[in-house]
Amino acid sequence: MGKPKQNQILVIDSDSERTQKLLHQLEFVDYDAKAVSSPALLDGYPGLSEKLAFIIGNCPGILDHVSRIKSQIEKCPPFILLTGTAPIDMTPDQVENNFLGCISSDTRFADLSNVLHRAEVQSGVVREPETPAEKAAGPQTQSPELFRSLVGNSRETRRVRKMIEQVAPTEATVLVLGESGTGKEVVARNIHYHSQRRNKPFVPINCGAIPSELLESELFGHEKGSFTGAIGARQGRFELAQGGTIFLDEIGDMPLAMQVKLLRVIQERSFERVGSNKSIKCDVRIVAATHRNLEKHIRDGKFREDLYYRLNVFPVEMPRLRDRVEDLPLLINELITRLEHEKNASVRLTPAAVMALCNYAWPGNVRELANLMERMTILHPHGVVDVKDLPAKVVPNQGTGEESESEPVSAETEGMAGMPGLPMLSEPRLPRDGIDLKQHLTDIEVSLIQQALDDCNGVVAHAAKKLQIRRTTLVEKMRKYRIQRPEEAAASLPE
């Protein structure tokens, strides 16, 4: 049996419209998804055992269908149940038959990511932390956490993820370049996590935050009495990272004297503690990062050219947040989801607020966005943030007009071109790779109709008034898109 593919999903559902919508969502979050309309079509289907998971539509006799699929595969991937417009609880029979959970046809990004992560864990793509040390390591062993600032589907984000995928299995030295706050350490942790060294230490050190007279001791350790205050022997970061990865952050701020010693370590793969002449062999992969222009530093005599070429084996340039602004709605969702899990804090943003954030330049990049989301959860705990609630620095020209009448939406509002859910409050952005305009407009219409029905407790007349269309027009659109009122959706679910 082949190893489970990290991103291959097979959708089995007879509802073509629901299937297409789900395929669109899966593709958006970088999964390779295919679909068949019936379990009967799986006879002879290639690569079933290599799928990460099956997503199967809820229908009569579903357990029989599952048994049929499982009989064809030696070790069957897990199943995810696709329901109508509301998720249902797993029955004991379904749990026993390798069901991970269920999602609804209008599932949100966070719920979809959560159940797919469970599929990755079960299939062995992601290993859950087992020891107390691994659990304490947090992001080092939790794959979704690692990519928290690499969320998105922009061309720049996909490029970075592809480069990480290519370089991680190698032993190449990596130099991560980019402005402060773009997520350079996130890249370093991903490279370590997806390498053969993942079960060994990941040791970060900020070369610009440690006084120059102490940096050598921090990197290479020292012997007892080697300098004033050295009351005992101490291991350095290179020694602690033995067999693993050392992350040299802000390498551009390293003093020239230390650059010479680092160059020797890279060349000879050995070092000595301060106050010792005993050579210590080091098996350490180096990932360095800086926000400095190292080529300019070389011209100015602040950085050694030979060290630069030793470090710059595989450069990864991190995009600025303003250069991948189409990722921002998903980033907002990811950051708020993290706050919900870690600090039990949450907030919701109106579409107007999301659009305002998309129009900001973000000089502090993802770190600045994360700080703003945490501040909003403190100022508006479990509340709704509109444009008027954002800092003046972010929205300098709020004006004095009436308050926005935008309806609040969940933090996972996918509100840029190519993402359903955000009304056209200003000039829309066209993604660099183009867009399926018909599908995009359909997704927006379906999302707004569903929101109106939810806000009006399923009363079609009230929802039509809210959408400023005739009731008969809304009924026709609901029939066209197979949108059910809440009570109809509940009645269609199995007992």
Of 165, 10, 13, nearest to 83 by C-alpha is: 13
**In CATH, which of 2.70.98.60, 3.40.50.2300, 3.40.228.10, 3.40.50.1000 is domain 8-123?**
3.40.50.2300
CATH number of 155-318: 3.40.50.300
Q: How many other CB atoms are there within 10 angstroms of residue 428's CB atom?
A: 14
Return all residues near 106 (Cβ < 8 A) that are at least 6 apart.
85, 450
pLDDT tens per residue across all 495 residues of the chain: 344 445 788 888 888 888 888 887 787 666 788 888 877 777 777 777 778 888 888 777 777 777 777 777 777 788 888 876 555 555 555 555 567 777 876 776 656 766 776 677 666 554 444 433 333 333 333 344 444 557 788 889 889 989 999 999 999 999 999 999 999 999 999 999 889 998 999 999 999 888 888 898 889 988 887 777 667 778 889 999 999 999 999 999 999 999 999 999 999 999 998 888 888 999 999 999 999 999 999 999 999 999 999 999 999 999 999 998 888 888 888 888 888 877 888 888 888 888 889 889 999 999 999 999 999 999 988 888 888 999 988 887 654 333 334 444 443 333 333 343 344 333 455 666 667 777 777 878 888 888 888 788 788 888 888 888 888 888 888 888 888 765 555 454 444
Query: Which pLDDT value is given to residue 10?
Result: 86
The CATH 1.10.10 domain(s) of the chain lie at: 436-495
The total of other beta-carbon atoms located within 10 Å of residue 17's CB is 14
User: CATH 1.10.8.60: which residues of the chain?
Assistant: 323-428
* Residue 416 DSSP code: S
Q: Which amino acid is at 214?
A: L
Q: How high is the pLDDT of residue 172?
A: 95
Provide the 10 A C-beta neighbour count for residue 490: 14
The closest alpha carbon to 236, from 185, 195, 273, 290, belongs to 273
Three-state DSSP at 119 gives: helix
Q: How far apart are CA 411 and CA 89, in angstroms?
A: 24
How far is Cα 59 from Cα 491, in angstroms, rounded to an integer? Answer: 14
Q: Which residues belong to CATH 3.40.50.2300 in the chain?
A: 8-123
Enter the pTM of the model: 0.54
Q: Please tell me the CATH code under which domain 436-495 is placed.
A: 1.10.10
Say if residues 114 and 105 touch (Cβ distance below 8 Å).
Answer: no
Helix ranges, 359-436 (H):
365-379
Q: How many CB atoms lie within 10 A of CB 138?
A: 11
Instruction: Specify the CATH number of the domain 323-428.
Output: 1.10.8.60
9 - beta bridge partners?
A: 33, 53
CA dihedral 420, 421, 426, 430 (to 10 degrees): -10
Distance, CA of 342 to CA of 336 (rounded, Å): 10
